[in-house]
Amino acid sequence: MRKIYFTIMTLALLAACDEVSHDDRLTYVEPPEVGRAVLIEDYTGQYCVNCPRATAEIERLIEEYGDSVVVAVAIHSGPFSKQKGVASPLYTEVGDEYFTRWNLSAQPVGLIDRLYSSMPFSYTDWAAGVNYEIGFEAPVSFVTKPAYDKDTRDLTVEVQTIGLDEAPVSGRLQVWLLEDSIDSFQLMPDGSVNEHYNHMHVFRASINDPWGDDLTVTHGEVAAKNYEYILDPAWVPEHCSIVTFLFDDNGVRQVSKTRLIE
């Protein structure tokens, strides 16, 4: 069991994982060695004056490790994500569901690979969490293939999960849609309002169930799942990405990020 500054949250919903059907399996080809990537779930809000400091730490970590190693998701949720009677363009109900499920309170706050201590990670601790998590081997890798129709705004996503461990790997496969470069307001640490803040890595939607789909894959197998989604008219497809990860009661096992349009 992993321990650094945190203990592992047990997810009761992962009590059982279904086998992937034979029809959803592909021919396996031995993959090259895959490095470990780390998921940062940044629970943030446009009314949170300290949240830009957390954003700056994310950008520093991405610059240090690369965006294929540090996969950040800004989940606008909780008390600082909206105000009664005021438009909250980045808030999502699904994000709020996550915020409640993890029993979060103060913001900014984050989860590193869904591992936490008695107090969830402050952004000042994210670097230590990332450095710790990249030391583990990845039990799976992903090939994510999005296809987008600009006329209908229909998105189809094929996710191939490749088993790397000798033992079977079971968990929940999660597929999220993110958008970068969103021009919207943000309260700043000095108390001012930046009316044209550049919001990055913003969680827009869960393409599949908000708590993922059961998946089991063994070494020598490729498990494929296909999803469909219609993009909101306000979202810019050229700024969107697909984040794919597998998690279980030991946290996130591997994560990847793929641009919607290359």
pTM: 0.86
Taking alpha carbons only, the member of 204, 173, 182 closest to residue 73 is 204
- Which residues are registered as beta bridge partners of 169? 217
- For the domain made up of 12-259, the CATH class stated in words is mainly beta
* Segment 168-196, tens digit of pLDDT: 999 999 999 999 999 999 999 999 999 99
Alpha-carbon span 51 to 41, nearest angstrom: 13
Query: Are 61 and 70 spatial neighbours (Cβ–Cβ below 8 Å)?
Result: yes
Task: Give the pLDDT of residue 105.
Answer: 84
Distances (CA, A) of 21 to 25, 42, 213, 225: 7, 34, 13, 10
Number of other CB atoms surrounding residue 49 within 10 Å:
18
> Strand locations in the chain, DSSP E?
25-26, 38-44, 70-76, 109-112, 140-149, 154-163, 169-179, 182-187, 193-199, 202-206, 213-217, 222-230, 240-248, 251-259
List the 154-163 sheet strands across, edge first.
Answer: 25-26, 222-230, 154-163, 140-149
Backbone angles phi, psi at 21, to 5 degrees: -65, 155
Query: Are 253 and 14 spatial neighbours (Cβ–Cβ below 8 Å)?
Result: no
> Mapping DSSP to helix (H, G, I), strand (E, B) and coil, where does residue 156 land?
strand
Which 8-state DSSP code applies to residue 91? -
pLDDT tens, residue order, the chain (262 aa): 443 333 333 333 333 334 445 445 444 444 445 589 999 999 999 999 999 999 999 999 999 999 999 999 999 999 999 988 788 999 999 999 999 999 898 899 999 999 854 446 789 999 999 999 999 999 999 999 999 999 999 999 999 999 999 999 999 999 999 999 999 999 999 999 999 999 999 999 999 999 999 999 999 899 999 999 999 999 999 999 999 999 998 899 999 999 999 8
Token code pair at residue 24: 């959803």
- Per domain, the residue ranges of the chain are 12-259
